[in-house]
Amino acid sequence: MRAAIDLADHLNEQAILTMHQALMGRHAYARPGQWRDTQVWIGVSQTAARRAIDQAVDAGVLTAADDKKRNRIWLTVDVLALLDDFADRAGRCQ
């Protein structure tokens, strides 16, 4: 997790793949370090989800887009920028 968080300061496509490799390297089924080419449902417990969100907030990677106590909306500007860049390259951004 620490290696992935360290890479978050320089977020780009290669950093995302490197984070995936660092986090999932022991799990061949996850094809670590590669983009997925099929949809996958990822389920986690509420406790695990809260812990992951807290770690991302503490690392400055994730911020709340609202001040609700429940059903909060989270975002990370760097990931949104990468998605916009991808959409531009894919010709889908208007």
Report the alpha-carbon distance of residue 34 to residue 63 in Å, rounded: 26
- What pLDDT score was predicted for residue 51? 92
Report the alpha-carbon distance of residue 32 to residue 93 in Å, rounded: 28
Report the alpha-carbon distance of residue 24 to residue 19 in Å, rounded: 8
- What pLDDT score was predicted for residue 36? 82
Element (H, E) at 75: strand 74-75
Look up tokens 């059903």; give the residue.
Answer: 71
Could you read off the pLDDT of 17-43 as tens digits, one per residue?
888 888 888 888 888 888 888 877 778
On whether the pTM is more than 0.85, the answer is no
By three-state DSSP, how is residue 46 classified?
A: helix
Position 56 pLDDT exceeds 80: yes
